Amino acid sequence: MKFFIDTAIVDEIRAAHRLGVVAGVTTNPSLMAKAGQDPKKVIQEIASFVDGPISAEVLAEDADGMVREGREWAKVAPQVTVKVPLTAEGLAATRVLADEGVKVNVTLIFNASQALLAARAGAAFVSPFIGRLDDIGANGSELVRTIATIFKEHHITTEIIAASIRRPLDITEAALAGAHIATVPYKVLLASLEHPLTKAGIARFAEDWRQVTQKTK
């Protein structure tokens, strides 16, 4: 499973990219609002150092509008993947953009039928929101597992992006369920690095080394 970083804050993306594990970036209008900068300039800056897919979301609600916006996003950088919501209009736009060679990430997936429809419309990626499902008492990782099973059964190459990741355990569950990618907020990525036994082990090794070097002086 690959890691994408889920943020539009360029400093966070640079810091995550420095770790050597980030294969792409996802953004959305809410994340862009938090960044507080011109969205196109943000995508251009991200594309200057991230080689993998960078999702930029359309705001139109009709297919023609989504296609127009998607074409404009595709011009910003070759890595851009156009993010489209799972609606009837979104599916129609996905087909047009995909036929033009534009990669599409269909977002706001909450059941397996939606994911299958998006894949058949030509989506390069589908994004089931596991955290939001967990919030209402559903099982987000089970949805990922179901989608992965369907895609494998029918030889579908669309990649599954586990989205709405809230905690490190969500990453593990997404990987076990068969997600190709987990898109992770920066703070969750950092939290995934932490374990008290790791810190204790580092401290113990440092102390043992200090004692050894003192004895050999």
**pTM (predicted TM-score):** 0.93
Task: State residue 214's pLDDT score.
Answer: 80
The Cα diameter of the chain in Å comes to 76
pLDDT tens digit sequence for 115-138: 999 999 999 999 999 999 999 999
Domain ranges (residues) in the chain: 2-215
Task: State both tokens at 121.
Answer: 């419309």
* Nearest partner of 181 among 167, 162, 196, judged by Cα: 162
Q: Is 157 exposed, middle or buried (0-12, 13-18, 19+ CB in 10 A)?
A: exposed
Mark whether 83 is an active-site residue. Answer: yes
Mean pLDDT per 10-residue interval, the chain, length 217 residues = 97 97 96 94 97 97 98 97 98 98 98 98 98 92 98 98 96 98 97 92 88 76
Indicate which residue of 40, 41, 83, 103 is catalytic.
83
Q: Is 215 exposed, middle or buried (0-12, 13-18, 19+ CB in 10 A)?
A: exposed
CATH topology of domain 2-215: TIM Barrel (3.20.20)
Which residues, 6+ apart, have CB-to-CB distance to 117 below 8 Å?
Answer: 86, 91
User: CA–CA distance from 77 to each of 65, 82, 131, 184 (Å)?
Assistant: 20, 11, 30, 22
Task: State residue 217's pLDDT score.
Answer: 66
Cβ-contact 94, 84 below 8 angstroms? yes
Cβ-contact 85, 106 below 8 angstroms? yes
Task: State residue 80's pLDDT score.
Answer: 98
